[in-house]
Structure 1
Amino acid sequence: MFDIMTVFESLVEIIKVVPKTLLLALIILLLSFMLGAILTYIQSLNIPVIKQILDVLQSFLRGTPNVVLLYLVYYSLPLAASYFLSLFGVAFDPASLNSAAVVIVTFSICYSVFQSEIIRGALHSLDKDQIEAAQSLGYSTTQTLRKVIVPQVMTEALPDTMNAFLIIIKALSLAFLVTVVDIFAQARLVGAQTFSYLEAFVAAALVFWAICGLLTYLMNRLENRMRRGYV
């Protein structure tokens, strides 16, 4: 029989891993954004061969489920790290690689493709007349970048970037497959201890809902504040 008190008890245990989950998601968001920016820049150069390689890589990442990519990195990254470190005479035990590092690497690469599209779209939405106006006012390239381009690109990219953050938080439920304990994993552990899986998963759903609701509220306020600066 469903027990509401067990839900509250499960909530207490699940909330303990929320900071760790948010930290992992934030690290992945920042790394994927930087990788996405690098991808956008390299593609804008239109270098033959390299552009085609990146197009194939992006197609592969878009078409492969995250769970498959997670296992691919989980089994290949330790071997690759061991091989490259051995070239420099550094001993490395593949079994010692932290599972959280595997999750960070996997999702950072996965979501860099989507971040690249977000950045490209934000750049395309930039009004070129404002750049010309800044140059006519005597702004240097650095000043134009800092005062005109970056603020507007960040304003345009913010909603999609924050949505990506929410997606990453929910996608981290796959991290349990490689022994990283997040919100969902903690709910499974609590359910296994109490034999009350329904209550534990209800508690996990409430935690996810609360996090997404709070972040959406903060995102909307931040976006409105940033947009008022350009009205």
Structure 2
Amino acid sequence: MIQPEEKDFPWWLVVLAGLGLWVFAGVLSDAHYRAALSMLARGIRITLLVSVVAFLGASVLGLGLAVMSLSRRVWLRQIARFYIEVMRGVPIIVLLLYVAFVLAPGLVAALNWALAAFGQEPVSARGFSLLWRAVLALTLAYSAFLAEIFRAGIQAVDRGQTEAAQALGLSPWQRFRFVILPQAFRLILPPLGNDFVAMIKDSSLVAVLGVTDIAQLAKITASTNFRYFETYNVAALLYLTMTVGLSLILRRIEARLRRGRAQ
């Protein structure tokens, strides 16, 4: 069945491409635009590094939480639910500050206590850079959202599939690995992709810690040359290029998965 949005001509993309070309033309013809692009382009690597590493960590942790929330053991389900509700209820920017200035020093202090017990030299909290504190915070925050996506996808798999695998003598791990997870993955790929796009945008929050991503470099550049219009146009263009490009790729993958299920 053809989805309604698949029949619509993407006028939104035409308008967006036109705006992008307008900004790009400004970059080519204006020295201030070129200076802003040269400065902000240095933050692309940090933005992608934070987004990819944090999302991978959140995916692993979220899958573990989803399995815990579906466990037959009540205490595992309660621990998973407690974690998910707390992380979903705290704003990401607050969590970033908490992890950076409360949790990270606490972890270093605990590590030093363990090292002292074995007669080893203590480590400095400065060794735990703000970049990796930000990655840890985003991992913890997004793991709660991804846990719900994984849980919903696992529960959406027909119970008869599990019963058939059990009848074949597969162990619980084999049933999960070879039967449940592959089918659930097709269902959860679109929302996972949407959350990765959101992760790229939310990675701009790490600027509050001074991490030199695109947002932080835009703030520094604009406060130096006072060219806020040009600087933030370039910043918006860089973020839009990454998020819209990724969204289009995910739409193609989703369409292929739908055609694969229909065949």
Task: Verify same fold: TM over 0.5.
Answer: yes
1:17-166 equivalences in 2 (<5 Å): 17-76=43-102, 77-89=104-116, 90-132=121-163, 138=168, 140-141=170-171, 145-166=176-197
Q: Structure 1 residue 17: deviation in Å? A: 1.9
Structure 1 residue ranges without an equivalent (≥5): none
Q: Secondary structure at the match of 1:230?
A: helix
Q: Secondary structure at the match of 2:85?
A: helix
The 2-side partners of 1:191 and 1:213 are apart by: 25
- 1:209-228 deviations in Å (ceiling 9; x for gaps): 11111001111122223343
Cα distance change, pair 230–85 in 1 and its aligned pair in 2 (3 A) = farther
- 1:104-128 deviations in Å (ceiling 9; x for gaps): 1111111111000000111122123
Which residue identity is paired with 2:111? Answer: F
The 1-side partners of 2:42 and 2:169 are apart by: 49
- The normalised TM-score by structure 2 is 0.78
1:217 to 228, 231, 248: 248
Q: Structure 1 residue 164: deviation in Å? A: 0.9
CA contact (8 A) 1:86 1:92 kept: no
The 2-side partners of 1:70 and 1:198 are apart by: 28
* Structure 2 counterpart of 1:169: 200
CA contact (8 A) 1:8 1:203 kept: no
Coordinate RMSD, CA, aligned:
2.5
- 1:109-158 deviations in Å (ceiling 9; x for gaps): 1111100000011112212334455566x584566545542222111111
Q: How many residues align?
A: 229
Q: Secondary structure at the match of 2:245?
A: helix
Cα distance change, pair 49–222 in 1 and its aligned pair in 2 (3 A) = same
Which residue identity is paired with 1:186? Answer: L
Identify which of structures 1 and 2 has the higher relative contact order when contacts are C-alpha pairs closer than 8 Å and 6+ apart: 1
